[in-house]
Amino acid sequence: MKSIVISKSDRILRGSILLPASKSISNRLLMIRAISGRHFEINNLSEADDTCLLQKQIAYVLSVIGQKKSIELDVALAGTVMRFLTAWLTMKPGKWILTGSERMKQRPIGILVDGLKHLGASIDYLAKPGYPPLLIRGTAMHGHELTIDPGVSSQFTSALLLIAPYLPDGLILNLKGKTVSSPYVNMTIKLMQKFGAKVKEGKTRIHVKPGSYLPCDFKVESDWSAAAFWYEAAVFADEVDIELIGLQSDSIQGDAILPAVYQNFGIVTEFTGNGIRLTKMRKKIDGFYFDFNDYPDIAQAVIATCAGMRIRGRFEGLKSLQIKETDRLYALKNEISKLGIAVEISTQGENLVTLEINSSKSTFPSGLIFETYGDHRMAMALAPIVMKSGSLKIMNPDIVAKSYPQFWKDLQIAGFDIQW
């Protein structure tokens, strides 16, 4: 398996980094454009593998509509692509087989499928019930009101909302239970409203009126989720003065909470005309607690930060991490344990999943080799630990292309040495 060796001879973090465009915003814009059937320009579209795949699959679907034979679409590891295409294809004439990697076939989709069937969709499971692959027959949709559990994946909710203006009666979506990753649902709603959809959001109910999306050109902001790994590196550094270009203070991304999170670690965030500037002040921290229910994509970076600083940490709201590209809790436990830190995962009831790490005074082991489990965020969260260890090896480094293709090059810009 391919690997890289990362080293850092000092603990200085300086430079100017252009962060990638938001994958989450880009994917929603591509779906709004596809669903509407009306063209508009998307400037600064993400170059992440997931977005490129979604763009390619949409183009392919549009080129083969009307064929009588079944058309197979492979979404590989892209969960968003699987969920968004599932909803869209229910309304597109044809027979569609939607499949993915072996890991994708282990990721649940039953809540979304049940909801779509309630609205008139024709969907069959081709293997294990509740999981891909799916056979979707495009048909006229109906229905008006639907109740779903939003506690498994926000992408189920977003997928339903995105097609809702094109349902004959719109959609009243009742949310039964606590919503996971609610900022991503809020992002979907704000983008829908930007393109003219009539959406009224309540605490447990979202009402989308029938209508259509109105085309307007849109520039995608940089990805706050990608900034998490730079915040992590800043905590490990002794001297920090780094600019992250493209981030907005009025962002619609939930992970824009990062300045508040990392203030606890002494990181100072200054908004500039181009993005943000990170500096550091001395601050003692003995332990850290956080609930990641709304912010799962920064969990690995924050947990790795505490592990690298060898401080106690207690983290909740982690249930959704078990059904991501890998079981991220299992992966975190395995890799953080290599630092000589005790990691405990516990489950209380159906939804409360907790990960705890203990503080440690031991030195960092030499010759660290980190596995990435086919997970882009595992690779990026583990890499900054080199500022504490001096050198380490990352397996399967190319996986970062899923969301941040230039990550390793950007580390080099910031003074990290990388040997391929």
The pLDDT assigned to 68 comes to 87
| pLDDT value of position 363 | 84
3-state class (DSSP) for residue 359: coil
> Tens digit of pLDDT for each residue in 52-61?
999 999 999 9
Amino acid identity of 60? Y
The angle subtended at Cα 185 by Cα 181 and Cα 187, nearest 5°, is 110
Distance of alpha carbon 334 from alpha carbon 328, whole angstroms: 10
Where would I find the beta strands (DSSP E) of 198-246? Answer: 199-201, 205-208, 218-219, 239-245
C-alpha separations of 100 from 31, 32, 75, 130, 405 in Å: 19, 23, 5, 14, 21
Q: Is 297 a catalytic residue?
A: yes
Helix (H, G, I), strand (E, B) or coil at 257: helix
Q: How far apart are CA 393 and CA 122, in angstroms?
A: 47
Facing residues of 392 across strands?
Answer: 6, 368
Please give the average pLDDT of every successive group of 10 residues along the chain, which has 420 residues: 94 97 98 97 98 98 92 96 98 97 96 97 98 97 90 94 97 92 96 98 95 97 98 98 97 98 98 96 92 95 96 93 90 94 83 83 87 96 96 97 97 96
Q: Which of 253, 289, 293, 291 is nearest to 403 (CA)?
A: 253
* Contact (Cβ atoms closer than 8 angstroms) between residue 272 and residue 248: no
3-class DSSP assignment, residue 178? coil
pLDDT (tens digit, 9 = 90+) per residue, 303-356? 999 999 999 999 999 988 888 888 999 999 999 999 999 999 988 765 668 899
Tokens 């600083």, residue located: 309
Residue listed under structure tokens 């030499």: 366
Reference 88, options 141, 144, 142, 124; nearest CA is 141
Tokens of 80: 């968003």
Active-site annotation holder among 49, 50, 297, 410: 297
Query: How many angstroms separate the CA atoms of 190 and 31, rounded?
Result: 14
| Within this chain, domains 3-20+222-419 and 23-219 share the same CATH topology | yes
Q: Domain 23-219, what architecture?
A: Alpha-beta prism (3.65)
Domain 3-20+222-419 = CATH 3.65.10.10: yes
Question: Do the strands 267-271 and 275-280 form a parallel or antiparallel pair, or are they unpaired?
Answer: antiparallel
What separation in angstroms does the CA of 137 have from each of 71, 167, 191?
10, 16, 28
Question: Locate tokens 């980190």: which residue?
Answer: 370
Q: How much is the pLDDT for 359?
A: 81
| pLDDT, position 351 | 60
pLDDT of residue 98: 98
Domain ranges of the chain: 3-20+222-419, 23-219
Q: In b/e form, how buried is each residue of 178-192, taking b as 16+ CB within 10 angstroms?
A: ebbbbbbbbbbbebb
